[in-house]
A and B are shown apart, each in its own frame.
Chain A
Amino acid sequence: MTRIPLAGAQHAVRLLLLFLLPCLLSAWGQSATADVSESRARALLEALDTDSFQARGDAARAIADSDAEQKTRWLQALLEGRLGKARRGDRFYIITDDSGREWPIIDAISYEEAGTGTRRTVEAFRINNELRTRLQGLLASLSLTSGDEAARLRAADRLLGEVAPDNVETVRQTLADEESPAVRERLEMALALFAVTRGDAEALDTLRGNLDTRVRNALTPIAAGDDALAGQTRAVLEGIESKRAWYDRAQTLFFGLSAGSILVLAAIGLAITFGVMGVINMAHGELIMIGAYTTWLIQQALPGQPGLALALAIPGGFLVAGAFGVVIERTVIRFLKGRPLETLLATFGLSLMLQQLVRTVFSPLNRRVSSPEWLQGSWQINEALSLTLNRFGVLLFCLAVFAALWALMRFTRLGLEVRAVTQNRAMARAMGIRATRVDMLTFGLGAGVAGLAGVALSQLTNVGPNLGQGYIVDSFLVVVFGGVGNLWGTLVAGMSLGVINQVLQPWVGAVLAKVFVLVGVILFIQKRPQGIFAPKGRTS
Chain B
Amino acid sequence: MFQHLCVRRLLITAGLAVALPFGAQAAEQDDQGPIRVGILHSLSGTMAISESTLKDEMLMLIEQQNEAGGLLGRQLEPVVMDPNSDWSLYAEQARDMLTGDDRVDVIFGNWTSASRKAVLPVVEELNGLLFYPVQYEGEESSENIFYTGAAPNQQAIPAVDYLMDQGVERWALLGTDYVYPRTTNKILEAYLKEHGVADEDIMVNYTPFGFSDWQSIVSRVSDFGSQGRKTAVISTINGDANVPFYNELSNQGISASDIPVVAFSVGEQELSGIDTAPLVGHMAAWNYFMSVDSDANYDFIDNWVAYTGNDEAVTNDPMEAHYIGFNMWLQAVESAGTPAVDAVKDAIIGVTVPNLSGGASTMMPNHHITKPVMIGEIQDDGQFSVVWRSPSAVAGDAWSDYLPESQNLISDWRAPLRCGRFNVESMTCEDGQGAD
The residues of A with any CB-CB pair to B shorter than 8 Å are 53, 80-81, 98-101, 119-120, 123, 126-130, 132-133, 136, 213-214, 216-218, 220, 251-252, 255, 258-259, 262, 359, 364-366, 368, 370, 376-378, 380, 386, 388-391, 460-462, 464, 466, 470, 502, 505-506, 509-511
Asked whether A390 lies within 8 Å of B275 as measured between CB atoms, the reply is no
Q: Select which of B46, B243, B256, B311 is within 8 A of A129 by beta carbon.
A: B256
Asked whether A364 lies within 8 Å of B298 as measured between CB atoms, the reply is no
Q: Interface digits, B368-381 against A, CB 8 Å rule (1 contact, 0 not)?
A: 00000000010111
Chain B residues with Cβ below 8 Å from A100 are 311
Q: Select which of A126, A461, A502 is within 8 A of B386 by beta carbon.
A: A126
What's the Cα separation between A102 and B205 when bound, in Å?
A: 43
Q: What's the dominant secondary structure at chain B's contact region? A: loop
Asked whether A364 lies within 8 Å of B227 as measured between CB atoms, the reply is no
B240 within 8 A of A: yes
A217/B228 contact (C-beta < 8 A), A132-B256, A132-B257, A510-B211 known: yes
- Which one of B86-94, B111-119, B212-220, B353-361 is at the interface? B212-220
Asked whether B281 lies within 8 Å of A132 as measured between CB atoms, the reply is yes
A255/B216 contact (C-beta < 8 A), A378-B251, A378-B253, A390-B251 known: yes
Q: Select which of B49, B166, B250 is within 8 A of A130 by beta carbon.
A: B166
Chain A residues with Cβ below 8 Å from B275 are 370
The residues of B with any CB-CB pair to A shorter than 8 Å are 44-46, 48-49, 166, 177, 205-208, 210-213, 215-217, 219-220, 226-228, 240, 243-244, 247-248, 250-253, 256-257, 260, 273-275, 280-281, 283, 291, 293, 298, 311, 377, 379-381, 385-388
Asked whether A388 lies within 8 Å of B251 as measured between CB atoms, the reply is yes
Asked whether B379 lies within 8 Å of A81 as measured between CB atoms, the reply is yes
What's the Cα separation between A220 and B228 when bound, in Å?
A: 10
Asked whether B257 lies within 8 Å of A258 as measured between CB atoms, the reply is no
Chain B residues with Cβ below 8 Å from A80 are 380
Chain B: which residue is nearest A98 at the CB level?
Answer: B381
Given contacts A80-B380, A136-B257, 13 further A-B contacts (CB under 8 A): A119-B293, A129-B260, A129-B377, A216-B228, A255-B219, A359-B44, A366-B240, A368-B243, A386-B252, A390-B251, A462-B240, A511-B206, A511-B208
What's the Cα separation between A130 and B280 when bound, in Å?
A: 12
Chain B residues with Cβ below 8 Å from A262 are 213
What's the Cα separation between A378 and B222 when bound, in Å?
A: 14
Chain B residues with Cβ below 8 Å from A460 are 212, 244
Q: Select which of A120, A220, A377, A505 is within 8 A of B216 by beta carbon.
A: A505
What's the Cα separation between A502 and B213 when bound, in Å?
A: 10
What's the Cα separation between A389 and B311 when bound, in Å?
A: 35
The smallest beta-carbon distance between A90 and chain B, in angstroms, is 18
Chain A: which residue is nearest B273 at the CB level?
Answer: A368
Asked whether A376 lies within 8 Å of B45 as measured between CB atoms, the reply is no
What's the Cα separation between A391 and B291 when bound, in Å?
A: 35
The smallest beta-carbon distance between A86 and chain B, in angstroms, is 14
The total of Cβ contacts below 8 Å across the A-B interface reads 123
Chain B residues with Cβ below 8 Å from A251 are 219
A120/B298 contact (C-beta < 8 A), A217-B227, A511-B208 known: yes
The smallest beta-carbon distance between B174 and chain A, in angstroms, is 11
Asked whether B380 lies within 8 Å of A386 as measured between CB atoms, the reply is no
Chain A residues with Cβ below 8 Å from B206 are 509-511
Q: Select which of A99, A130, A505 is within 8 A of B217 by beta carbon.
A: A505
Listed A/B pairs (26) with beta-carbon separation below 8 Å: A53-B387, A80-B380, A81-B379, A126-B386, A128-B387, A128-B388, A129-B283, A129-B387, A213-B226, A213-B227, A214-B228, A218-B228, A259-B213, A262-B213, A364-B48, A366-B273, A377-B251, A377-B253, A388-B215, A389-B251, A461-B212, A462-B212, A462-B244, A502-B216, A509-B205, A510-B208
What's the Cα separation between A109 and B49 when bound, in Å?
A: 44
Chain A residues with Cβ below 8 Å from B216 are 252, 255, 502, 505-506
Chain B: which residue is nearest A364 at the CB level?
Answer: B44
Chain B residues with Cβ below 8 Å from A259 are 213, 215
Asked whether B377 lies within 8 Å of A364 as measured between CB atoms, the reply is no
Chain A residues with Cβ below 8 Å from B213 are 259, 262, 510
The smallest beta-carbon distance between A390 and chain B, in angstroms, is 6
The smallest beta-carbon distance between B366 and chain A, in angstroms, is 33
Chain A residues with Cβ below 8 Å from B210 are 462, 466, 470
Chain A: which residue is nearest B220 at the CB level?
Answer: A506
A258/B293 contact (C-beta < 8 A), A80-B380, A129-B377, A511-B177 known: no
Asked whether B212 lies within 8 Å of A388 as measured between CB atoms, the reply is no
What's the Cα separation between A258 and B156 when bound, in Å?
A: 35
A391/B44 contact (C-beta < 8 A), A132-B256, A213-B228, A460-B244 known: no
Among A136, A364, A464, residue most surrounded by chain B Cβ atoms (within 10 Å): A364
Chain B: which residue is nearest A217 at the CB level?
Answer: B228
Chain B residues with Cβ below 8 Å from A506 are 216, 220
The 3 closest A-B pairs by CB, nearest first: A217-B228, A461-B212, A213-B226
Chain B residues with Cβ below 8 Å from A214 are 228
Chain A residues with Cβ below 8 Å from B46 are 466
The smallest beta-carbon distance between A418 and chain B, in angstroms, is 33
The smallest beta-carbon distance between B251 and chain A, in angstroms, is 4
Asked whether A378 lies within 8 Å of B252 as measured between CB atoms, the reply is yes
Asked whether A123 lies within 8 Å of B293 as measured between CB atoms, the reply is yes
What's the Cα separation between A359 and B240 when bound, in Å?
A: 16
Chain A residues with Cβ below 8 Å from B177 are 511
Chain A: which residue is nearest B228 at the CB level?
Answer: A217
Chain B: which residue is nearest A125 at the CB level?
Answer: B385
Chain A residues with Cβ below 8 Å from B166 are 129-130
Chain A: which residue is nearest B167 at the CB level?
Answer: A130
Asked whether B44 lies within 8 Å of A258 as measured between CB atoms, the reply is no
The smallest beta-carbon distance between B90 and chain A, in angstroms, is 17
Q: Select which of A120, A129, A389 is within 8 A of B257 by beta carbon.
A: A129
What's the Cα separation between A259 and B248 when bound, in Å?
A: 14
The smallest beta-carbon distance between A51 and chain B, in angstroms, is 11
What's the Cα separation between A129 and B165 when bound, in Å?
A: 13
The smallest beta-carbon distance between A335 and chain B, in angstroms, is 33
Q: Select which of B49, B227, B274, B298 is within 8 A of A119 by beta carbon.
A: B298
Chain B residues with Cβ below 8 Å from A213 are 226-228
What's the Cα separation between A466 and B44 when bound, in Å?
A: 12
What's the Cα separation between A506 and B205 when bound, in Å?
A: 9
Chain B residues with Cβ below 8 Å from A136 are 257
What's the Cα separation between A101 and B381 when bound, in Å?
A: 11
The smallest beta-carbon distance between B137 and chain A, in angstroms, is 20
Q: Select which of B248, B256, B311 is within 8 A of A388 by beta carbon.
A: B248
Asked whether B385 lies within 8 Å of A511 as measured between CB atoms, the reply is no
What's the Cα separation between A370 and B276 when bound, in Å?
A: 12
What's the Cα separation between A378 and B227 when bound, in Å?
A: 22
Chain B residues with Cβ below 8 Å from A365 are 48-49
Chain B: which residue is nearest A457 at the CB level?
Answer: B212
Chain B residues with Cβ below 8 Å from A509 are 205-207
Asked whether A129 lies within 8 Å of B252 as measured between CB atoms, the reply is no
The smallest beta-carbon distance between A131 and chain B, in angstroms, is 9
Chain A residues with Cβ below 8 Å from B252 are 378, 386, 388
The smallest beta-carbon distance between A518 and chain B, in angstroms, is 14
Asked whether B215 lies within 8 Å of A99 as measured between CB atoms, the reply is no
What's the Cα separation between A390 and B212 when bound, in Å?
A: 13
Asked whether A101 lies within 8 Å of B251 as measured between CB atoms, the reply is no
Chain B residues with Cβ below 8 Å from A81 are 379-380, 385
What's the Cα separation between A502 and B208 when bound, in Å?
A: 16
What's the Cα separation between A451 and B283 when bound, in Å?
A: 37
The smallest beta-carbon distance between B167 and chain A, in angstroms, is 9
Chain B: which residue is nearest A502 at the CB level?
Answer: B216
What's the Cα separation between A460 and B251 when bound, in Å?
A: 11
What's the Cα separation between A268 and B44 when bound, in Å?
A: 32
What's the Cα separation between A461 and B280 when bound, in Å?
A: 21
A386/B212 contact (C-beta < 8 A), A53-B387, A509-B205 known: no
Chain A: which residue is nearest B302 at the CB level?
Answer: A101
The smallest beta-carbon distance between A256 and chain B, in angstroms, is 9
What's the Cα separation between A504 and B244 when bound, in Å?
A: 21
Asked whether B256 lies within 8 Å of A462 as measured between CB atoms, the reply is no
Chain B residues with Cβ below 8 Å from A120 are 298
Chain A residues with Cβ below 8 Å from B377 are 128-129
